[in-house]
A and B are shown apart, each in its own frame.
Chain A
Amino acid sequence: MPARISPVDHAFRTEWAPLVATLLRETRSLQLAEDVVSEAFVEASVRWRTDGAPRRPGAWLLTTARRKAVDQIRRQQRFDERLPVLAADLDDPPDERAHHLVDDQLALIAGCAHPALDAEAQVALTLRYVCGLSTEQIAHSFMVPTETMKKRLTRAKSKVDAAGVPFTVPDHERLPDRLTAVCGVIYAVFNEGYTSSVGPELVRGSLCDEAIWLSELLCELAPDDGEVHGLAGLILLTDSRRYSRTDANGLPVLLEDQDRTDWDTGKIERGLRHLARSASSSGIGPYRLMGSIAGLHARSTSVETTPWARIAGLYGALIALHDSPVLRLNQAAALAWSEGPATGLALIDELAHELDDYSYFHSSRAALLAKLDRTDDAVAAYERAIALTSNEAEIRWMTLRHSSIAGEA
């Protein structure tokens, strides 16, 4: 965060989502809510510069957005039941909406992540309507042309309107599933930022920041859900290593080689607090388990003192929930630390036919083969791993590894 942040920028971060959520309830139109809230911020950026920021920026923005909504509805001559509701709200003290605010934001965030929308649409809608990112910003983050992202958003909005996708708080029975869907969207945003599978940068920070903000917002909206806190813990703890995970040249740094004094202790503390909240809730889900793994890393001072057997056990619990070869690979990599590289390699090799086209499978093998002094095999495994990834930083890094081993041979 820059030290000097303008009142409009500050208000944008804190007020955008609540404003869209309130206007969505009052106008029942996502498009109209977005339009008038955007216009209110445009007006704020002009007026606040000349007149100074108002004492209560949120209230100012709300009144301005509501007035614009009434104007728009009048202009479109949509004299239905919405107008009296909205016109009456104009005279309300804005604090009246405070008791709606949690539900309104939950409705907005759950609607954007509705399972009737495809995963890409869920992510795009969430970044647009909950985070307030512009279409250009979202397109840039996902490294697609703006036109592509514009079409994706338009298609998503058409489906929302035509199919009657509800932007309401899911009922009690459905709420846990819908919160899990929201968690999935937030985690996808984080992963997109943290490990981009294409392109030159390994870490695209702004998406990580949006994901952290979203996950902590969701914790405020659903404070009793263990998975929601598990996700916030997982994201914060993983992100605490953001700047240690690449070197000055942008090359990846393995966990064992990272300078742990560079890990962000503020994020670790916040993450561990969310994990504790998660542990006090009932039920065990994947985010809580993955968060616990990240927590064990964060609390360890070195790879040697990391409780790898416990980490392997947590992977076992994840596998019990939802078996996958990639989870087994991670479990085997943990066991390679606790039981030795030979045991780890034997377990990894069992996954050969399932993961033969997965880059990390071959780079994990290569690292263990090098430890076991099987140089030729390690070189061959790195070559295979390099051929299977399109991430430039990883290619450069693995090429270095490859040539250092090949050079020793």
Chain B
Amino acid sequence: MKYGLLLYDDPANANDFGTPEMDAEMQQWFAFTEELTNAGKNLGGEALNPVETATTVRVRDGKTVTVDGPFAETKETLGGFYIIEAENLDEAIAWAAKIPSAPTGSVEIRPIMEFDG
């Protein structure tokens, strides 16, 4: 099965670039991604720029309405995602638990919708 792992975290937990803490964190992300890829489970993924850069679009009555900021104001924001291949939910949970941001934030596991034929 394919799963989307959506990574949420409080931006306050983020390390600043150029600091030794951030370098150490980046090593964890590289190591996790490499492990996932070597296991043949990595179907893609990206890190997202912070919510301050977000724009939300809605089309209402045929008109495009654009506002600054994310859809919902919450402390934990979507920071990135992986798409993985896993045998079942237990395997997806095991991968999610290894994600470097799991100890501070949360990982939402969403099965990818499959369309037959």
Contacts and interface: CB of A to CB of B under 8 A. Distances in A.
B111 interface: yes
Interface in B32-81: none
B92 interface: yes
Nearest to A174: B90
Interface residues of B, number: 11
Interface residues of A, number: 10
A116 B93 contact: yes
B98 to A, nearest CB: 14
A250 interface: no
Contacts of B90: 166, 168, 170, 174
Contact of A116 (B1, B86, B87, B89): B89
Contacts of A168: 88, 90
Nearest to A178: B90
A168 B109 CA distance: 20
Interface in A135-192: 162-166, 168, 170, 174
A137 B86 CA distance: 37
A163 B3 CA distance: 8
Interface in A250-294: none
A163 B89 CA distance: 6
Nearest to B93: A116
Q: Which of A116, A163, A168, A174 gathers the greatest number of chain B CB atoms within 10 Å? A: A163
B88 A165 contact: yes
Interface string B96-117: 0000000000000101000000
Q: Is the interface of A mostly helix, strand, loop or mixed?
A: loop
B1 A164 contact: yes
Nearest to A114: B89
Nearest to B94: A174
A162 B88 contact: no
A325 B58 CA distance: 48
Contacts of B86: 164
A164 B89 CA distance: 5
Nearest to B114: A162
Contacts of B92: 164
A114 B89 CA distance: 10
Contacts of B3: 164
A114 B90 CA distance: 9
B84 to A, nearest CB: 12
B111 A163 contact: yes
A110 to B, nearest CB: 10
Contacts of B88: 164-166, 168
B52 to A, nearest CB: 33
A174 B94 CA distance: 11
A293 B50 CA distance: 53
Nearest to B113: A162
Nearest to A162: B111
B30 to A, nearest CB: 26
A103 to B, nearest CB: 16
A168 B87 CA distance: 12
Nearest to B3: A164
A271 B111 CA distance: 43
Interface string A29-63: 00000000000000000000000000000000000
B74 to A, nearest CB: 21
Q: Which of A116, A163, A164, A166 gathers the greatest number of chain B CB atoms within 10 Å? A: A164
A133 to B, nearest CB: 25
Contacts of A165: 88-89
A165 B89 CA distance: 5
Contacts of A162: 111
A62 B108 CA distance: 40
A203 to B, nearest CB: 37
Nearest to A116: B89
Nearest to B92: A164
B93 A164 contact: no
B113 to A, nearest CB: 8
Contacts of B109: 163
6 contacts: A114-B89, A116-B89, A162-B111, A164-B87, A166-B90, A168-B88
Interface of A: 114, 116, 162-166, 168, 170, 174
Interface of B: 1, 3, 86-90, 92-93, 109, 111
Given A164-B87, A164-B89, 13 more contacts: A116-B89, A116-B93, A162-B111, A163-B89, A163-B109, A163-B111, A164-B88, A164-B92, A165-B89, A166-B87, A168-B88, A168-B90, A174-B90
Q: Which 6 pairs of residues, A with B, have the shortest CB-CB distance?
A: A166-B88, A164-B88, A164-B1, A164-B89, A163-B111, A166-B90
